[in-house]
Each structure stands twice: as C-alpha cells, then as structure tokens.
Amino acid sequence: MRAKSLLIHNASQIITMHGNNEKPRTGEAMRDIGLIEGKGQIVAVIDGNIAGIGTETQIREMLKEAGIKIEELQVIDADGKTVMPGLVDPHTHIVFGGSREYELELRMNGATYLEILAKGGGILSSTRHTREASEDELARQTTERLDKFLKHGVTTVEAKSGYGLTLEDELKQLRVAKRLDAKHPVDIVSTFMAAHAVPPEYKEDPEAYITLIIEEMLPRVAQEQLAVFNDVFCEHGVFTVEQSERILEAGKKHGLIPKIHADEIEPMGGAELAAKVGAISADHLLKASDEGIHAMAEAGVVATLLPGTAFFLMAEYARARHMIDAGAAVALSTDRNPGSSPTENLQLIMNLAVLNMKMTPTEVITATTINAAHAIGMADRVGSLEVGKQADIVIMDVPNYQFLTYNFGVNHAHTVIKKGEVVVKGGQLCYGR
C-alpha cells in the first residue's frame, strides 16, 4: 500500500470549503461551505495531500496521469457519514501543569474569576504548577490534551505560553509545544504570551515585568524561533490598553504577529487596539463595543470567539450575529485552559455558537475550518479540502452537516486523517500503532 495515500468514497455529504480562501470569509461567504452530495464522489489523497475530489472516472484518470495504480491505495467507505476538513482550534492554553477543578467550587460559593486571580489563584495557580513541572512532565500532560483534541476531529491547534512568567519557564512551555508539534499528529502553532498575568515577584512593580518581557523575553523567543504570535491579556487588573500596545508593538519589531485577549470580562477598548496594531485576530470580545467591532471589520482582524468560556464563566456571550452582520470574519475556538474553559470538545463549542450566539450551522463550520486557519496564518495549508492542501480530514458519523450541531454534546468524529494518515479509527486513537 502506498503510504499517506487513500481514497474516501460513498459519503453522504462532503464539506469542501472550496472557494475564495485568500482572505478570511465574511458575510454571505461564511454560509458557503462548498457542500457536495457525496454519493458517486471520491476524495483522493496522495502522499499526504489532497489530490482531487471527483467521480470515479475522473479520479481514475487523474491517478493514471500521475502513474499511480488504484490498487495501491487504501479505500475508506464513508457510507452514511459526512467528510469535512480537519477542525482547527485557533486559541488554546494547553501547555500547563496541574489543574483547577476546585475553582469551580469557589465560584459556586460566590468568588469571581478575577477575584480568584487577584488572590494568587487562577492563572497564578497554574503558573506555580507549570514552573514546578519538568519539560517531560509538561509534554506528558499536554499529549493527553492533544489526544483528546484529535479524537474530537481537531487536527491543528494554536498553543500559548503564559503559565511560566519567567524567561526560562516561558521558554520551557514553548519548547514543549515545539517538541510535540514534531512528534504528535496534531499541528501546533505557537504563541508567546508572557503578558498573561503579572507574576507575584513583580506585584509591586508591573512595569519592571513589562520591561523584562520587552527587553529579554521577546528577543529570545524570536531568536530561538519558538513562536509566531505575541498575545496579551488586556483586561481590568491584568494589562492595560496602553501596556498591551507597547508589548504588541515590541513583538512586531521581532517579527511576532500580534494577537489579543480583548474585552473578555470588562469593556476595555481591546477590539479597537487590535485594529490599531494590525492584530491577526482579537479573541473573546464578549464586551466589545460597536466601534471596536467596526474597526476590526475594517482592518480585517479575525474575531475569534470562545463561547465555552462564556458558558463556563456563566457570562453573556459575544455578539457574533452583530459581528458577522458588521462584516467581521468570525472564527471559533475552545480556549482550552484550566480556568475558564476546560474542554477539548470543539464540536460542543460549535453547538454553543449556534444556540447562544445565533450563528447558523454553516457559519460555525466556516468558523472552525477556514476562518480558524486564517486566524493562525495556516489557511494556505489547512481548513479546506482543496487540491494541494494537507490531507487533514474528519469523517463525521453524521448523515449531513446539520446533524453535527443538532445531536449535541456527542463526539461525532469517526475517522480522523492527518497528512494522509489515519490517526483515529472508529473513534479510537490509532496513530503510531
């Protein structure tokens, strides 16, 4: 059998996301998922890439021209199922030590997320555990999370640092992500986020911590090529808009593209800042202003929304409908982190987006495939089933795309293919075996 090469036939539907994918999709284009009826159609994968989608005659012709015998290819029968691009999660904090289930109990007894952080818990609790953990231990814990993502059909994730908060511990987190990117089937795109919280050592002098980020951490991260993006938690009691701007501008000088945690808990002007600094995405946006949303749409900043966080913090959801109607490109993510969204189930996030943010089932598919890929600069490789792209494919055990966000709270991923290799079969991990 030819490695990393296969044919998928007999599906009931194929979601290709075919179309103009130069830029993140907005407006009506978010509802166009390139849907084709699957009967009589074959998805062909050769050497890890999508080689074509067409009828048996067309695929036979294509293989003949390429000098490949059809008998050399594994054939997957997708009867009754829906084939779609591997899901992309553009915002996670998966490299961390420890866990924080006890905070849920504190919150149920009346403490808020920011109060827990102000008392040295929250992000700072994860920071203590991350600092204590060895690189190997962090890699072990992160692998478990990546495996869960993969089982849910997620084939690419972004991963942030931000639980180290010292030069060495931030580098440690980023090295873990780099190591796992090379080793684990899930592709990992890294973001440097030392501006996630002010560590206790700098509690009395946050400016000195910002100087450390700008003068020591950013140059080192760039020099070691450990991250593509630079992110800040622009939030009341964390980093101000002015401080965030300085950190993001400093990152740009080292070639790191800005991202921003904007207007998550309080309205701060984070969306406006994202437009001003030319961020690739602004994330959360639960409290974003009309002006901020308009500025983002104008500047082409992707609005990455994380409804799992609103759900878990019992907060009001971001105004996705308003954003899409205002011309902003929307992406969706789990925000997988130990504090405000402890889940790897991006399919559940899709469901929350439909029911609580009034997005249509087609819009959420766009938001978790091609737009999510744009939010992390990966749209040239992933996010759609188009010739030449990486063969990252999920076969969902659903008869049509609507069923995906209808039968909720269930993992529908049946078969997951990463770069042409079957890595999940019948819902079970099978990579490296």
Q: Which residues bind ligand IZC (CB under 6 A)?
A: 93, 122-123, 126, 233, 261, 337-340
CA–CA dist 155, 251 (Å, integer): 28
DSSP labels for 22-78?
SS---GGGGG---EEE-TT-EEEEETTEEEEEE-HHHHHHHHHHHT--GGGSEEEE-
Residue 261 or 287 having the CB closest to ligand IZC? 261
Minimum CB distance to ligand IZC smaller for 131 or for 381: 131
Least distance (Å) between residue 48 CB and ligand IZC:
34
Residue 176 structure tokens? 């873990």
Residue 371 buriedness (CB in 10 A; 0-12 / 13-18 / 19+): buried
Least distance (Å) between residue 234 CB and Zn ion: 11
Residue 372's CB is within 10 A of a number of other CB atoms, namely 33
Residue from 90, 121, 106 nearest 368 by CA: 90
Tell the smallest beta-carbon distance from residue 318 to Zn ion (Å): 13
Q: Choosing among ligand IZC, Zn ion, none, which partner's interface includes residue 339 (Cβ < 5 to 8 Å by kind)?
A: ligand IZC
Binding partner selected for residue 123 from ligand IZC, Zn ion, none, CB under the kind-specific 5 to 8 Å limit: ligand IZC
Full DSSP string of 187-221: EEEEEEEEETS--GGGTT-HHHHHHHIIIIIHHHH
Q: Which does 187 bind (CB under 5 to 8 A by kind): Zn ion, ligand IZC, none?
A: none
Q: In the bound complex, what is the minimum distance in angstroms from residue 104's beta carbon to ligand IZC? A: 12
Of the two residues 187 and 335, which places its CB atom closer to Zn ion in the complex?
A: 335
| Least gap, CB of 85 to ligand IZC (angstroms) | 27
Q: Which is nearer to ligand IZC, 339 or 420 (CB)?
A: 339
Q: What is the contact surface with Zn ion in residues (CB under 5 A)?
A: 335
Report, in Å, the least distance between residue 123 CB and ligand IZC.
4
383 binds, among Zn ion, ligand IZC, none (CB under 5 to 8 A by kind): none
Question: What backbone phi and psi angles, to 5 degrees, belong to 327?
Answer: 95, 10
Give the nearest residue (CB) to ligand IZC.
339
Tell me how far the alpha carbon of residue 269 is from its chain's centroid: 23
Q: Which one, 59 or 265, has the nearer CB to Zn ion?
A: 265
- Alpha-carbon 217 to chain mean position: 24
122 binds, among ligand IZC, Zn ion, none (CB under 5 to 8 A by kind): ligand IZC
Q: Which residue is nearest to Zn ion (CB)?
A: 335
By beta-carbon proximity to Zn ion, the closer residue of 68 and 313 is: 313
Radius of gyration of the chain (CA): 21
Residue among 337 and 366 whose Cβ is closer to ligand IZC: 337
- Select from ligand IZC, Zn ion, none the partner in contact with residue 25, using the beta carbon and a kind-dependent cut-off of 5 to 8 Å: none
- C-alpha to C-alpha distance for 397 and 324, rounded to whole angstroms: 29
As a dihedral over the C-alpha atoms of residue 382, residue 156, residue 147, residue 171, rounded to 10 degrees, the angle is 150
> Considering the complex, what minimum distance in angstroms separates the CB of residue 60 from Zn ion?
47
Strand order through the sheet with 74-77? 49-54, 42-46, 6-9, 74-77
